[in-house]
Structure 1
Amino acid sequence: MDIKSIEKKLNRYINNNVTSLSDLTDRVNALVLECDLGNNAGLYLYLGKTKLILINSNLSDSKKKIVLAHELGHAILHTKSSCAFNLTDSTAKAEIEANICTHLIVRKLDIFMDPTFRISTGEFNKLDDGFLRLQGLIY
């Protein structure tokens, strides 16, 4: 799926009433829970007609927001599939597409401008840092 197709799908969910990750979560109609996921930052599960997003409770609040945006990408792009956001491997096509969607969500909702969003030194690993730099989200 190319970036224009991803953006078109995302734009079906983001409108003037969607100004935060919480709003987008409601619009996507997903249930979000936090729990210890070991090496996984997050999971998107499609169970019947339920969109379930699990976020690793061991992550910082800032990283949880990035992971939520990523898992919302799966909910939007890969609705009927289940996907795991592994902290050490993000090379699968669905993961790359979700990363692109994450970038668009972060940009459209101005996540980094949210006063509750804070990144502390050393919070992200090399894979995260590379992704965020590649997307132009940090410099």
Structure 2
Amino acid sequence: MKKELIDKLIREITDKGELRDLYKIAKGANILVIEEDLGRDGGLYFYEAKTKTIIINRKLSYYHRLIVLAHEIAHAILHPYEEAYFTCIGFPKASIKENEANYFACKLLDFIGFWSDENLCIYEHELNKSDKGFIAMYMKYLSEPTTKIYTKELI
């Protein structure tokens, strides 16, 4: 999938930038979001009975839940009929679909102002090593937009 198409989809689901709350974005895209205790898993997405559903681990910190939610929204939009489980996030993945979801999540989080939130650093200690890697790779992407951190298929 082309980056331009992902960028276009993000503009569409955020009502051309009017929506900045991930939970409202999910609701606007007809995605049900549920928070439950998932043990060690971050979240999951599935499609059943004509309903797109995301379950987020309620034990995660606020910012960690946003990362997981953005990633699962990506699966709901990009791969709506396939299940996805969030264990950890990072670059690059062997799966093209995971790389697409990671890119989508990065861009969506950027679009809603997540990366510029001054409170993000307060919660950094609650993120696991893989999530910190995700943030570091995205910051590298922001500072060096020509860096190839995604697979060849995501151009």
- TM-score, with structure 1 as normaliser: 0.85
| Post-superposition offset of 1:116 | 7.0
Higher deviation after alignment, 53-62 or 112-121: 112-121
Supply the AA of the counterpart residue of 2:103.
Answer: I
Give the Cα–Cα distance (whole angstroms) in 2 for the partners of residues 28 and 112 of structure 1: 23
1:110 to 113, 118, 131: 113
1:107 & 1:126 partners in 2: Cα distance?
Answer: 21
Task: Give the letter for the 1:8 counterpart.
Answer: K
- Is the CA contact 1:21–1:69 (under 8 Å) kept in the aligned structure 2? yes
Q: Residues 114 and 49 from structure 1, CA distance in 2 versus in 1: closer, same or farther, beyond 3 angstroms?
A: farther
CA distance in 2, matches of 1:88, 1:13: 22
Q: Is 2:90–2:134's contact at 8 Å kept on the other side of the alignment?
A: no
Contact 2:17 2:111 in 1 (8 A): no
The letter for the 1-side match of 2:69 is L
**1:68 alignment counterpart:** 69
14-23 or 126-135, larger mean C-alpha shift? 14-23
Whether 2:14 is the aligned partner of 1:11: answer: no
How many Å separate the matches in 2 of 1:5 and 1:16?
16
Q: How many residues matched?
A: 139
Query: What's the CA shift for 1:31?
Result: 0.8
Q: Which amino acid aligns with 1:38?
A: G
Q: Is 2:98 the partner of 1:95?
A: yes
The aligned residue for residue 148 of structure 2 is none
Tell me the distance in 2 between the aligned counterparts of 1:79 and 1:37.
21
Change (3 A) 1:127 1:115: closer
The one-letter code sitting in structure 2 at the alignment partner of 1:10 is I
Superposed CA RMSD in Å reads 2.5
Q: Which residue of 2 aligns with 1:25?
A: 26
- CA contact under 8 A between 2:89 and 2:102: conserved in structure 1? no
> Which of the pair is proportionally richer in helix?
2
Contact 1:17 1:23 in 2 (8 A): no
Bigger mean CA offset, 46-55 vs 83-92 = 83-92
2:58 paired residue number: 57
The 8 Å contact of residues 62 and 118 in structure 1, kept in 2 or not, is answered as no
Question: What letter matches 1:17 in structure 2?
Answer: E
Amino acid at match of 1:33: I
Give, in angstroms, the shift of residue 121 of structure 1.
4.1
Question: Could you tell me how far 1:61 is from its partner in structure 2?
Answer: 1.3
* CA apart distance, 1:117: 5.3
Listed as ranges, the gaps of 5+ residues in structure 2 are 144-155
